[in-house]
Amino acid sequence: MHSSSLIILSGVLVAGFACQWIAWRVKLPSILFLLLTGIIAGPVLGWLRPNELFGELLEPFVSLAVAVILYEGSMTLKLAEIRGHGNVVRNLVTFGVLITWFVATLTARVFLGWDIYLAALFGAIVTVSGPTVILPLLRTVRPTKALSNILRWEGILVDPLGAILAVLVFNFIVVTQTAATTGQLFFTLGLIIVVGAGLGVLVGHLLGVVLKNHWLPDFLRDYAALAMVILVFTLAEAVESESGLLAVTVMGVWQANMKDLDLEDILDFKESLTLVLVAGLFIILAARVQLENIVGLGVGAIAVLLALQFVAGPLRALVCSIGSELSGPERAYLGWIFPRGIVAAAVSALFALRLERMGYPGAENLVPIVFTIIVGTVVIQSLSGSVVAHWLKVASPDPKGVLVVGSNRLALLYATAMHDAGQRVLVASMNWEGVRLARMAGLPVFYGSPVSTYAERHMDLTGIGQLLAMSDRPGLNELACVSYRYEFGRESVYTFKQDSEAGHEKHHISGEAAGRVLFGGQKSMEDLLALIPDPAQTRTTEITETFSFADYRSKYPERLLLFIKTPGGHVRFPLGDEDMKVPAGSSVTALILGEEQQPADSATGS
């Protein structure tokens, strides 16, 4: 028995990794593959039986995992960002949540025949979306910048708010089952709120003070945060049952809004931990679903799904965009996209466990209907998102911009030259001085690691379709090439040879990971940095029917070619392994070297 349990647990972890990897490759939310894997391994094949595997430990395991997931999600809720991203986002995470809650509650009451309490709980659960499901869709569809920003920030901000609503509704249901009088009901509910919110604020603030004053070494910060989350959840549950989830959610929100508290390292750790928890948790939870419960929902489940897709979504978008500058097609698309994700699956499974333990009628159907909504919205919106966006004419044109990784002199030279040529450019760097110089040059910047989970959520890649990796941080260029070659396509990922790669085979980067190397590797980053004069001067020259690229090379042999902009607006970089065909109508931008270079006061850069 011990051996078989180990095999099952390791199989769950490996299957979770495989699901995450497949989702990354095909640019779809991983929760879709995780839930399908759990259903196949559990009720279909009978390989995974969570109740037998975990026994009485199943509910504590799920409870702690959900507590960590909610804490990690709540750390993204910065109240200033609700105000800072326009009225539409603010309306969506307030009025939009209430509209979705009302429609979902009504449809569950009508089409499923549930009592008002269980229907309201279901409605609260499906008010959440989340970045893990919305961001893959945005990367595949690439809607207009305004739509992309609204959908991204709604997904980030609505998770903790919807989770708080769901926790409060669940607590209300629990109290109604135990309270003898109305007064006792409201007293118990108020006690849950006071204990949960009070412990969350108290411990969250104390931990924030400790972290802000650096009273812990860096290597213990993540450990301390995880330990405090588990402690707060446990204490809250011990003081007043069912207050633990509220406590950890409030704790995360409080810390996210503390002034001058840097939580990025902890957030990165929590996101990595959540990745593992989500992979294992959702396979296990899906394996508990009984097929007869799914089938038993019948056409009612389909009716609820269609109501959420065709009624709740458009209604929420219409009401929340009143007075905005969004066009009619943009409002229609905003109403079409709202997939459900991780938080909905996690809290529904935990609530169902606790309600089943209480003997609440219909509790066994909560997880099947929520999972149906998750799979249904993800599948419908993933398959139709691009088609609908093009039909409504809200899809961004062919992305021609360039993500420049690094902010050294060479990176800023390239970024400035492309920006001056009318190209969309984004400079991503962890070097504050370089970012400051880029901002002074009028370049859009992202301060942080371009390969972090924070970048996945916050870096705006609208209009970006190519990568030029030229950071001087060891290993970052290779990581960026690996991360973005499936995002942009391997043909659109470029980097430079670095001298650190020379000398020994162990320093060589494989072609699969390195991206396309500029100048065929004949010129390294260090070579080019040494060539750049001070001040650097670039020239852009038009190629015409009477002045070909061959004429240009013959006339200006000393110029160092930086890039070519095609008549269609795409940027091409010199690779050194091909005979570049430059048609008329293209423009060539090069670095001026040698005698042609002008004094600084006479340089025009034209």
Alpha helices in 452-564 (DSSP H): 453-458, 476-488, 511-514, 525-531, 549-555
Please enumerate, as own/partner, the contacts of 524-531 that have beta carbons within 8 Å and a separation of 24 or more: 524/496, 524/497, 524/498, 524/499, 525/410, 525/470, 525/472, 525/496, 525/497, 525/498, 525/499, 526/498, 526/499, 528/410, 528/496, 528/560, 529/408, 529/409, 529/410, 531/560, 531/591, 531/593
Question: What's the confidence (pLDDT) of residue 241?
Answer: 79
Question: What's the confidence (pLDDT) of residue 81?
Answer: 65
Q: Does a cis peptide bond (omega within 30 degrees of 0) precede residue 399?
A: no
Distance of CA 475 to the CA centre of its chain: 23
Question: What's the confidence (pLDDT) of residue 510?
Answer: 47
Q: Scanning the structure block, which residue is given the tokens 């739509």? A: 147
Q: Which two structure tokens, joined as six digits, stand for 413? A: 């030279």
Q: CA-to-CA distance for 492 and 516, rounded, in angstroms?
A: 8
Q: Tell me the three state secondary structure of residue 423.
A: coil
- Terminal alpha carbon distance of the chain: 76
Query: Tens of pLDDT along 329-347?
Result: 999 999 999 988 888 888 8
Question: What's the confidence (pLDDT) of residue 235?
Answer: 92
Domain 401-602 is found in CATH 3.10.180.10? no
Question: What's the confidence (pLDDT) of residue 74?
Answer: 80
Q: What is the DSSP string of 361-387?
A: TTGGGHHHHHHHHHHHHHHHHHHHHHH
Alpha helices in 289-429 (DSSP H): 291-297, 299-307, 313-320, 328-336, 342-358, 366-391, 409-420
Alpha helices in 441-576 (DSSP H): 453-458, 476-488, 511-514, 525-531, 549-555
Identify any residues that bridge with 587 across adjacent strands, giving them in sequence order: 542, 565
Residue 480: which of 452, 499, 438, 519 has the closest Cα? 452
Query: Tens of pLDDT along 104-126?
Result: 999 999 999 999 999 999 999 99
Q: Scanning the structure block, which residue is given the tokens 């015409």? A: 544
Question: What's the confidence (pLDDT) of residue 601?
Answer: 40
466: Cα within 13 Å, side-chain hemisphere:
21
- Domain layout of the chain by residue ranges: 2-391, 401-602
Domain 2-391 is found in CATH 1.20.1530.20? yes
Intervals of the chain under pLDDT 50: 1, 503-504, 506-512, 600-606
Contacts of 476 (CB under 8 A, 6+ apart): 405, 406, 449, 450, 451, 469
Question: What's the confidence (pLDDT) of residue 124?
Answer: 94
